[in-house]
Amino acid sequence: MTIANAVAMAHRLLADKLATARTVVDATAGNGRDTLFLAANTPGDAVVWAFDRQQAALDNTARLLAEHGLGGKCRLVADCHSRLGDYVSGPVDAAMFNLGYLPGGDHGFTTCAASTVAALGCLTGLLAPGGLVTVVAYHGHPAGCEENAAVAEYLAKLPQTAFAVAAWRMLNQRNRPPILYIIGRTGRETA
């Protein structure tokens, strides 16, 4: 295995789970690269839910999916990911968060601590036993730093009988590289 950036590592960690997934979530669709990854690596009858508050992001995502013939299995939702429980009934097998701003878009419009933590709370409640969530957090700017602290605080308090939580980051990279969090539901709480 080679060591890659945080998003590529998230993809690798999710790949096995996606092979048998029925319901997956991209909490931050952006330009659609993660949505495309989820759609391309799940069975044909899986449903991929993708959320973004910016219509421009969803338009980009829809275009990318259409180019790959994968739009049919995706549900694109123009709403805050903190409300994903209004759309997704679960159980969710896998989910991704790639926090921050839309690349090529308005850098002032970013994910924020309160709604990200609310969305994580919702998703952990919907997660199937054995399910996985990845979060890539960019803490190199003030808002991202605050958001990352809130995410880390929330995740550290998840009960260890129900969830296994890990963090991964490059140690020798300049400019505060992103942190990848991995949350797995153990299923032990029902044993």
Q: Where on the chain is the footprint of ligand SAM (CB under 6 A)?
A: 28-34, 51-54, 57, 80-81, 98, 100-102, 109, 111, 115
Q: How far is CA 49 from the centre of its chain?
A: 11
Residue 37 gets which letter from DSSP?
Answer: H
Q: Residue 117 contacts by C-beta under 8 Å, 6 or more apart in sequence?
A: 150, 151, 154
Nearer to ligand SAM, 121 or 189 (CB): 121
> Measured between alpha carbons, how far is 142 from 51 in angstroms, rounded to an integer?
24
In angstroms, give the least distance from the CB of 164 to ligand SAM. Answer: 24
> Measured between alpha carbons, how far is 92 from 98 in angstroms, rounded to an integer?
17
Nearer to ligand SAM, 29 or 70 (CB): 29
In angstroms, give the least distance from the CB of 21 to ligand SAM. Answer: 17
Nearer to ligand SAM, 100 or 131 (CB): 100
Point out the residue whose Cβ comes nearest to ligand SAM: 30
In angstroms, give the least distance from the CB of 163 to ligand SAM. Answer: 22
Nearer to ligand SAM, 36 or 127 (CB): 36
Instruction: Return the closest-CA partner of residue 120 out of 96, 89, 88, 91.
Output: 96
In angstroms, give the least distance from the CB of 172 to ligand SAM. Answer: 24
Rg of the chain, C-alpha, whole Å: 15
